[in-house]
């Protein structure tokens, strides 16, 4: 699990016109290569009559799955510029398809590179970018009479209480950033005068929206 990374929030679609050609950008999150391939095929099927359906994706914690497809455009003028925009935006687990309907005016290699890059950027902006930060779910088992105090202390310091479980004692599931688990455990220990038992119950990502840059 990564400590932190950026990806798209979800599906995004937008269209721009460049010298009478229509460029329709489709963007989606894909956490497995199979998902990226399926998304590309879905758009190709939708726009079976388009001049081109160019695409690129980058998937995996270590960006181990990367592919760029020019789909009939001159080599290196479509898929690669799309992939470069994904990289420039520092995104992971992202797939982009740019559908082009040719408008009769040739753009040349440089024009195509700029057009596909511009379309990819517009699509990403439409989809929005999120930052995903890895957190550990820490179970803190306490007595019922400590619940109000502990909830108040945690919320005042910005901690997320992911769940509450009621039994003979009460268990709060608290989220802490990966690598900083000892920090919140020490705080809870101090607040409860040591009357607490901890268990790690898995990890998850917390997403926050990255403001768009105009």
Do residues 148 and 179 both lie within one domain?
Answer: yes
Cβ neighbours of residue 146 under 8 Å, at least 6 residues apart? 191, 192, 195
Q: Which of 127, 155, 180 is the last residue of a domain?
A: 127
pLDDT at 214: 58
Domain that holds residue 24: 7-127
Q: Is residue 1 part of a domain?
A: no
Same domain, 110 and 149: no
**40, 92: one domain:** yes
In order of 63, 100, 126, 156, the CA distances from 18 in angstroms are 31, 10, 18, 51
Same domain, 36 and 112: yes
pLDDT in tens, 179-191: 999 999 999 999 9
Q: Phi-psi category of 63—alpha, beta or left, where left has phi over 0 and alpha has psi -120 to 50?
A: left
How many domains, the chain?
A: 2
Please write the tens of the pLDDT for every residue from 123-144.
Answer: 999 999 999 999 999 999 999 9
Determine, yes or no, domain membership for 2.
no
- Do residues 20 and 103 share a domain? yes
CATH number of the domain where residue 165 is located: 3.30.70.240
Query: In this structure, is residue 160 part of a structural domain?
Result: yes
Q: Are residues 123 and 139 located together in one domain of the fold?
A: no
Identify whether residues 113 and 183 lie together within a single domain: no
Average pLDDT, the chain: 94
Same domain, 56 and 21: yes
Using alpha carbons, select from 167, 175, 193 the residue that is nearest to residue 139.
175
Q: What is the pLDDT of residue 103?
A: 87
pLDDT for 106 equals 87
Of the candidates 123, 125, 126, 145, which has an alpha carbon nearest to the alpha carbon of residue 193? Answer: 145
pTM comes to 0.86
Q: Which of 81, 106, 127 is the last residue of a domain?
A: 127
Question: Which of 127, 158, 191 delimits the end of a domain?
Answer: 127
């Amino acid at each position: 699990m990564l400590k932190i990374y950026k990806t798209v929030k979800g599906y995004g679609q937008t269209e721009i016109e460049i010298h009478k050609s229509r460029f329709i950008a489709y963007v989606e999150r894909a956490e497995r290569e199979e998902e990226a391939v399926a998304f590309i095929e879905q758009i190709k099927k939708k726009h079976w009559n388009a001049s081109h359906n160019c695409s690129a994706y980058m998937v995996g914690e270590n960006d181990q799955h990367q592919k760029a497809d020019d789909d009939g455009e001159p080599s290196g003028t479509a898929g690669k510029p799309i992939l470069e925009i994904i990289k420039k935006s520092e995104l992971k687990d992202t797939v982009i398809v740019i559908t082009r309907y040719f408008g009769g005016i040739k753009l040349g290699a440089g024009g195509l590179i700029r057009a596909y890059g511009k379309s990819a950027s517009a699509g990403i902006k439409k989809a929005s970018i999120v930052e995903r930060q890895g957190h550990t779910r820490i179970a803190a088992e306490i007595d019922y009479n400590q619940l109000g105090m502990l909830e108040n202390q945690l919320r005042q310091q910005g901690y997320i209480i992911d769940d509450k479980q009621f039994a003979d004692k009460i268990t709060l599931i608290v989220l802490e950033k990966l690598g900083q688990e000892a920090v919140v455990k020490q705080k809870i220990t101090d607040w409860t005068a040591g009357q607490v038992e901890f268990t790690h119950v898995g990890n998850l990502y917390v997403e926050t929206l990255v403001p768009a840059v105009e």
